[in-house]
Amino acid sequence: LFVKSLKSGAMLGDALGDDDQSVSGDSMSEWRSCDQIDNGSPSTSPPFWDTDGEDDDPGPCPSNLFGRHTWRIQNFSKEKKREMKSEPFEAGGFKWYILVYPQGCDVSNHLSLFLCVADHDKLLPGWSQFAQFTIAVGNLDPKKVKYSDTLHKFWKKEHDWGWKKFMELSKIQDGFLVNDVLEIIAQVQVIREKVDRPFRCLERPYRRELLRVYMTNIEQIYRRFVEEHRSKLSNLIEDKMRWSGFCAFWLAIDTSTRYRMSREKSDVILKIIVKHFFVEKEVTSTLVMDSLHTGLKALEHQCRGKKGRGKLMDLEELSAPMVHVDMDTFALAGDVLALLERAALEPLPCQPLSPKDDKCSQSRTKAGSSGEVKVSIEHEEKRLTEFGQKILETFALSHIFSGIEVAYQEAVSLKRQEELIREEEEAGLLESEMKGKRNNTTEKEKRAKKKQLNILKGNLLLDSSND
């Protein structure tokens, strides 16, 4: 399954593989987005990780940047056109349309599907826009809808993006055509990306739909990141000589210097975090960014004790944060030595279930009653927030520690230079002493030789007088 731009021919590669997950056509909200939950009895105090980001920014929130379009193609099996376009629809201030190649685009025996920016040639020069989108083909069986997700930055030369090999034509007759009507559903989430702090990407139903598919991937990203930073700290602590030297260095620093070195401007840390995790064409980037967004809010709430729009989280279930958010600054929540040991030794959550067993993370279909789905989805969203907070804490601690470590290495280098200078001075003094001793010996030898020579001369004179 390939994601490809028609104009540029840029290949993304295997987006999901040949065994893409499957769900149902016109009932997408029921089987994938869990809309039947969202439209049920509303909560009077939704947790903050369940909001749409409307409290954070005066601009449009994700729900206002989301669009959905269903296109039913009549008499599809009799269609002879090489390509077909849907009616334009709006999402996030842009006009979009679905482009389909019934017999394949540059490929044979496949249905090709693309999402395109309408009237792209009329947009202002230099325009570009990130969008995450899902295209699905409906099926009579609610569990067999064919779908694919991707994240793409649309611009002048890549104003169309999609899948050349969306599905094999031979499978069309397997419930995808109903009275010779092919139903194509597009969901488009336009993203207002930021560079200075994590941002909310996805409106709630669409986020929940994607979360049920990619939660295992998110957990793997979290684990890799945390374990990578933990291993560096563990190596430091396990090196007894280096660790004792670092401890001695830190304890010798005055209180005011420790305070200054234990802090960092939040925009410095958050910019690095956003750049690291918001990766173009990485479909999980938006969920990770949502995780960091709500994780930051959770951290701010824990540190400042703010009152949110109701019950934010069961804070007693969370461990005390390793860093505090103090105005525009990240500050260590305790002594750096204790925090480093905690970060290196604190166990990670239990390993995720295997894809075979983790239905909530790997399937867009319902898993039991609506009540069970609700509990599962809310649990996963809470975990998403916890992952985001842990990533922020780990990175902030590692970043602040790296600054302290630089100072430590400079102190070690300075001490070593002082030792080398002292050794050179001592060696110079020793050399001077040895040279002085050699000079004294030489003088004694000269005097002794001169004395012997004088004796010989005297003897010669005595012999001459006797003769």
**Looking at the structure, do residues 418 and 282 belong to the same domain, yes or no?**
yes
Q: Is residue 15 part of a domain?
A: no
Query: Which pLDDT value is given to residue 36?
Result: 33
The one-letter amino acid at 176: F
- Same domain membership, residue 412 and residue 269: yes
User: Which ranges of 152-203 would DSSP assign to H, the alpha helix?
Assistant: none
Q: Is 142 helix (H, G, I), strand (E, B) or coil?
A: coil
Q: Are residues 209 and 120 in the same domain?
A: no
pTM listed for this prediction: 0.78
Question: Within 10 A of 32 (CB to CB), how many other CB atoms are there?
Answer: 29
**Number of structural domains in the chain:** 2
Residue 139 lies in a domain: yes
Note whether residue 41 is domain-resident: no
CATH number of the domain that 132 lies in? Answer: 2.60.210.10
Rg (CA), the chain: 36
Residues 173 and 224 in one domain: no
Cα 319 from Cα 241, distance rounded (Å): 30
Closest to 20 measured CA to CA, from 108, 116, 143: 143
List beta partners, residue 329: 265, 326
Rounded Cα gap, residues 210 and 285, in angstroms: 11
Per-residue pLDDT of the chain (467 residues; tens, 9 = 90+): 444 555 444 333 333 333 344 333 333 433 454 333 343 333 444 455 556 655 556 678 999 999 999 999 999 999 889 999 999 999 999 999 999 999 999 999 999 999 999 999 899 999 999 999 999 999 999 889 999 999 999 999 999 999 999 999 999 989 999 999 999 999 999 999 899 999 999 999 999 999 999 999 999 999 999 999 999 999 999 999 999 999 999 999 999 999 999 999 999 999 999 999 999 889 999 999 999 999 999 999 887 764 444 444 454 456 789 999 988 999 999 999 999 999 998 887 665 544 444 444 445 544 444 444 555 888 899 999 999 999 999 999 999 999 999 999 999 898 888 888 888 888 888 888 887 777 777 777 777 777 777 777 677 766 666 66
Please say whether the beta carbons of 296 and 388 come within 8 A. yes
Q: Do 221 and 175 fall within a single domain?
A: no
Q: Which one of 192, 211, 233 terminates a domain? A: 192
Q: Are 294 and 246 in the same domain?
A: yes
- Chosen domain end from 192, 214, 240: 192
Please check whether residue 242 lies inside any domain of the structure: yes
Q: Which of 143, 172, 192 is where one domain is finished?
A: 192
Domain membership flag for residue 100 = yes
Cβ-based neighbour number of residue 131 at 10 Å: 23
Q: Is residue 31 part of a domain?
A: no
Amino acid identity, residue 317?
A: E
Structural domain of residue 270, as residue ranges?
A: 196-304+322-347+376-458
Helices (H), ranges, 329-369:
336-345, 359-362
Count CB neighbours of 132 within 10 A: 23
> Are residue 206 and residue 156 in the same domain, yes or no?
no
Q: What does the pLDDT read at residue 434?
A: 82
Residues 245 and 329 in one domain: yes
241 and 284 in one domain?
A: yes
Domain membership flag for residue 438: yes
- Same domain for 164 and 210, yes or no, is no
Q: State whether 117 and 215 are in the same domain.
A: no
12 is a domain residue: no
Co-location of 299 and 404 in the same domain: yes
